[in-house]
Amino acid sequence: MGSKGTYSRGGMQFRVHTACRRCGRHSFHRSKKVCSHCGFGKGPKLKTYTWQRKKVIGRANRKV
Ligand SMILES: [Zn+2]
Protein backbone atom coordinates (compact mmCIF):
# COMPACT_ATOMS: atom_id res chain seq x y z
CA MET A 1 0.00 0.00 0.00
CA GLY A 2 1.50 3.32 0.86
CA SER A 3 0.58 6.83 1.56
CA LYS A 4 -2.96 7.95 1.47
CA GLY A 5 -4.19 11.45 1.11
CA THR A 6 -1.06 13.28 2.06
CA TYR A 7 -1.32 15.68 -0.81
CA SER A 8 -3.16 18.44 0.92
CA ARG A 9 -0.94 18.38 3.96
CA GLY A 10 1.57 21.19 3.99
CA GLY A 11 3.15 22.69 0.94
CA MET A 12 1.35 24.78 -1.62
CA GLN A 13 0.58 27.27 1.07
CA PHE A 14 1.91 30.19 -0.87
CA ARG A 15 -0.69 31.61 -3.14
CA VAL A 16 0.81 33.12 -6.22
CA HIS A 17 -2.41 34.36 -7.65
CA THR A 18 -5.09 36.29 -5.92
CA ALA A 19 -8.40 37.72 -6.98
CA CYS A 20 -8.12 40.36 -9.64
CA ARG A 21 -9.90 43.59 -9.01
CA ARG A 22 -10.78 44.15 -12.61
CA CYS A 23 -11.87 40.82 -13.99
CA GLY A 24 -12.62 39.17 -10.67
CA ARG A 25 -10.71 36.08 -11.53
CA HIS A 26 -8.14 34.40 -9.39
CA SER A 27 -5.39 35.34 -11.80
CA PHE A 28 -3.67 38.32 -10.29
CA HIS A 29 -0.03 37.53 -9.74
CA ARG A 30 1.06 38.86 -6.40
CA SER A 31 4.74 39.35 -7.07
CA LYS A 32 4.37 40.31 -10.68
CA LYS A 33 1.44 42.60 -9.92
CA VAL A 34 -0.10 41.56 -13.17
CA CYS A 35 -3.27 39.71 -13.87
CA SER A 36 -2.63 36.84 -16.20
CA HIS A 37 -6.18 36.89 -17.43
CA CYS A 38 -7.02 40.48 -18.24
CA GLY A 39 -3.58 42.04 -17.92
CA PHE A 40 -4.51 44.27 -15.04
CA GLY A 41 -1.42 46.00 -13.69
CA LYS A 42 0.33 46.08 -17.02
CA GLY A 43 -1.58 48.92 -18.52
CA PRO A 44 -4.91 50.60 -18.90
CA LYS A 45 -5.97 48.37 -21.73
CA LEU A 46 -7.43 44.95 -21.55
CA LYS A 47 -5.19 42.17 -22.62
CA THR A 48 -6.07 41.09 -26.10
CA TYR A 49 -4.44 39.12 -28.79
CA THR A 50 -4.95 39.35 -32.49
CA TRP A 51 -5.69 35.69 -32.73
CA GLN A 52 -8.50 36.06 -30.27
CA ARG A 53 -10.79 37.68 -32.75
CA LYS A 54 -12.19 35.83 -35.68
CA LYS A 55 -11.67 37.27 -39.06
CA VAL A 56 -14.73 37.73 -41.15
CA ILE A 57 -13.15 39.65 -43.94
CA GLY A 58 -12.39 37.97 -47.20
CA ARG A 59 -15.80 36.50 -47.76
CA ALA A 60 -17.23 39.05 -50.13
CA ASN A 61 -13.86 39.58 -51.62
CA ARG A 62 -13.79 36.38 -53.48
CA LYS A 63 -14.74 36.11 -57.10
CA VAL A 64 -16.62 33.08 -58.21
ZN1 LIG B 1 -7.80 40.35 -14.16
pLDDT along the chain (64 residues), means of 10: 66 82 93 91 74 70 63
Q: Can you count the helices (H) and strands (E) in the chain?
A: 0, 3
- How many angstroms does the Cα of residue 16 sit away from the middle of ligand 1? 14
- How many angstroms does the Cα of residue 24 sit away from the middle of ligand 1? 6
The pLDDT value given to residue 62: 63
Domain boundaries, the chain: 13-64
- How many angstroms does the Cα of residue 54 sit away from the middle of ligand 1? 22
The pLDDT value given to residue 54: 73
Predicted TM-score (pTM) of this structure? 0.53
SS3 sequence, 2-25?
A: CCCCCCCCCCCCCCCEECCCCCCC
CATH class name, domain 13-64: mainly beta
The pLDDT value given to residue 30: 94
The pLDDT value given to residue 34: 93
